[in-house]
């Protein structure tokens, strides 16, 4: 087997002795790191987010369907704001169903979007660490948005 490594952004074959040492140390291959990063990103993206309203913390689903529904609600909320109308939507949380008005719907979307982008930023950062060989196991458990 011939293993490769990334040197200055280029894939380079390892020397036989280097390969033997690499395997003996039990280091992960880059593809394993990418899979682990993807799995951890998926947990962070879909594990829910905590939002605070009126001094109470609520855990809200942040999976793809929830993000889609909140994006749609944000559009409708913006339309209501622009038309001078009121709008409420029911949002499922860990504390039951709560009502959110148009301003709260816009804020909830912004929080979800910020969370999503923070996860993507962390993924990009960790991909860079894989590429330059500086990633560690601790990187998979720290630095993720909650």
Q: What is the 3-state secondary structure (H, E, C) of the chain?
A: CCCEEEECCEEEECCHHHHHHHHHCCCCCHHHHHHHHHHHHHHHHHCCEEEEECCEEEEECCCHHHHHHHHHHHHHHHHHHHHCCCCEEEEEECCEEEEEEHHHHHHHHHHHHHHHHHHHHHHHHHHHHHHHCCCCHHHHHCCCCC
Residue given tokens 């829910």 in the structure block? 48
Q: Is the pLDDT of residue 143 over 80?
A: yes
Q: Is the pLDDT of residue 142 over 80?
A: yes
Which pLDDT score is estimated for 32? 84
Every domain of the chain and the residues it spans: 4-141
For the chain, give the mean pLDDT: 88
Q: Are strands 88-93 and 96-101 parallel, antiparallel or unpaired?
A: antiparallel
| Tens-place pLDDT, residues 99-117 | 999 999 999 999 999 999 9
Q: Is the pLDDT of residue 56 over 80?
A: yes
User: Higher-confidence residue: 133 or 101?
Assistant: 101
Which pLDDT score is estimated for 68? 94
User: Higher-confidence residue: 111 or 10?
Assistant: 111
| Tens-place pLDDT, residues 25-51 | 555 677 688 888 999 999 999 999 999
Q: Is the pLDDT of residue 8 over 90?
A: no
Which pLDDT score is estimated for 5? 73
């Amino acid at each position: 087997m011939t293993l490769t490594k990334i040197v200055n952004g280029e894939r380079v074959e390892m020397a036989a002795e280097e390969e033997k040492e690499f395997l003996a140390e039990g280091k992960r291959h880059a593809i394993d790191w990418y899979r682990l990063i993807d799995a951890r990103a998926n947990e962070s993206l879909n594990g829910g987010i905590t939002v605070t309203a009126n001094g109470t913390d609520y855990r809200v689903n942040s999976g793809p369907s929830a993000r889609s529904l909140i994006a749609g609600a944000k559009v409708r909320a913006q339309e209501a704001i622009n038309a001078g109308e009121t709008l409420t939507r029911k949002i499922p949380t860990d504390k039951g169903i709560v009502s959110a008005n148009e301003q709260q719907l816009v804020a909830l979307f912004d929080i979800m979007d910020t969370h999503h982008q923070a996860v993507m930023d962390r993924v990009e950062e960790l991909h860079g660490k894989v590429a330059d060989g500086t990633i560690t196991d601790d990187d998979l458990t720290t630095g993720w948005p909650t």
